[in-house]
Amino acid sequence: MQVTSPIRQPLVTGGKTYHDVTHDVSRQVEGKPTLTWFLAFLTAVGVLALGSLALMATLWEGIGMWGLNKTVGWAWDITNFVWWVGIGHAGTLISAVLLLFRQKWRTSINRAAEAMTIFAVICAALFPVIHMGRPWVGAIWALPLPNTYGSLWVNFNSPLLWDVFAISTYFSVSLVFWYIGLIPDFATIRDRATGLRKTIYGALSFGWDGAAKTWSRYESVSLILAGLATPLVLSVHTIVSFDFATSVIPGWHTTIFPPYFVAGAIFSGFAMVLTLMIITRKAFKLEDYITIGHIELMNIVIIITGSIVGVAYITEFFIAWYSGVEPEFYAFYNRATGPYWWAYWSMMTCNVISPQLFWFRKIRTSIVATFALSIVVNIGMWFERFVIIVTSLHRDYLPSSWAMFYPTITDVGLYMFSFGLFFTLFFLFAKFFPVINMAEVKAVLKSSSEKVIK
């Protein structure tokens, strides 16, 4: 028996019964798609189609189509890669870390957040893959296969190779974790359906029958997967930060990078979860499941991680000066006052100042303010990666090599492509998959609902 504090807010409002949970979530899957869904989906597909022109141009002509030059060899591609991977982190944090901490409020948001993780990692992986120039031969360069140039293997000293292992493990483990959670809910839809839908969801549900023995195994699998995914998610962004931190570029080789990148990832990921969940709860009328309480808790995570990121910015600036290494300090001074000052100050405003507004209860419980600030945070986090990557590179060691980076239409198109891909996948998920984990919400319903259902 669990004891629930009488002063704590209920997780699910509106006095829902178990059957109401099933009905409210399944009706999205069973009903005809709404006009709003169609318009949103077609917009996403349109953006994807337009962006695919840039993808084809890159694959056909090569990465010379991008705005890179000899000095700035990494720009929007790696910025987008780090940004998308970071966004993915919130899903794992919600499903794995909050499971280990026994935070019951995660149950109504974990499904959509994990879906977001998987789609964001797909978008992220796109960028290093096309950066290979010829990805169809790139598989041999990136995987530990004996290649055709002799018995030469991949270089296990390189953080770029660690990234290959980290991102692919992260993607596949997240996918498995997400799917295991979906199996009981697919069974729910199977048992309500007839005809073709019954066949499809029957296959997707893997013959789930709800036996106590299977539930017991399911729970131990979830717990262990959460235990594995927690260090995994921390390792992924740590390894992404190693791409920079193990180099010798001033502004990059900083030991603060791993924790600072992980905090930044969770920060931007929660912002993206909020953006998506605020739309989803409204469009699918799930206000009783994703309550203001959920939004407020996510905003508190944003204040914490946003403040960690703010402290990290100030610390690295201070250490750059305190170390007495001139090129190091110049790299930071140039960020704030050089030709990219506007990017630096956009980052500082969006990431350090704007989340502090959530200290006001009125703002963090306001849906409009949360939605606006969640987008501001993601703009800021994109600028953070752009600032780290481009401003550290553009002032090379020799002033004769100093250069600026100007994105081409292909760079913009590829970024659009990743957005189109992400939202196309997300809208498909929202229509055909149960967006809320019904089984887990039912499991916390009795101990946390307004009304105890007898």
Partner 1 sequence: MERDTNFILGVYDDEDVLLHAIKKVRSSGVKIHEVYSPYPVHGIDDVLGYKRSKLPIAAFLFGMLGTSLALTMQFYMMRFDWPMIIGGKDFAAVPDFIPVTFEMTVLLAAFGMVGVFMISSNLKPWAQPRIFDVRITDDKHVMAIDIANNSSMDLEKIQEILKSSGASEVNKKSFE
Q: Which residues are near partner 1 by CB under 8 A?
A: 1-2, 17-19, 22, 144, 150-157, 159, 161-162, 165-166, 169, 172-173, 176-177, 180, 183-184, 187-188, 190-192, 203-204, 206-221, 224-225, 228-229, 231-232, 235, 239, 242, 439-440, 442-443, 446, 453-454
| Alpha carbon distance 151, 15 (integer Å) | 66
| Contact indicator for 335, 387 with CB cutoff of 8 Å | yes
DSSP class per residue in 337-398: HSTTHHHHHHHHIIIIIGGGGGGSHHHHT-HHHHHHHHHHHHHHHHHHHHIIIIIHHHS-SS
Q: How far is the CB of 19 from partner 1 (least distance, A)?
A: 5
Nearer to partner 1, 52 or 169 (CB): 169
Nearer to partner 1, 8 or 19 (CB): 19
DSSP class per residue in 157-189: T-HHHHHHHHHHHHHHHHHHHHHHHHHHHHHHH
Nearer to partner 1, 156 or 342 (CB): 156
Nearer to partner 1, 53 or 143 (CB): 143
Q: How far is the CB of 288 from partner 1 (least distance, A)?
A: 16
Residue 370 tokens read as 């949360």
Q: How far is the CB of 375 from partner 1 (least distance, A)?
A: 33
Neighbours of 320 (CB within 10 A): 22
Q: How far is the CB of 186 from partner 1 (least distance, A)?
A: 9
The one-letter code for the residue type at 250 is P
Nearer to partner 1, 4 or 169 (CB): 169
Q: How far is the CB of 268 from partner 1 (least distance, A)?
A: 23
Q: How far is the CB of 238 from partner 1 (least distance, A)?
A: 8
Helix 257-283 × helix 212-245 angle, to 10°:
130
| Alpha carbon distance 426, 396 (integer Å) | 41
Nearer to partner 1, 131 or 446 (CB): 446
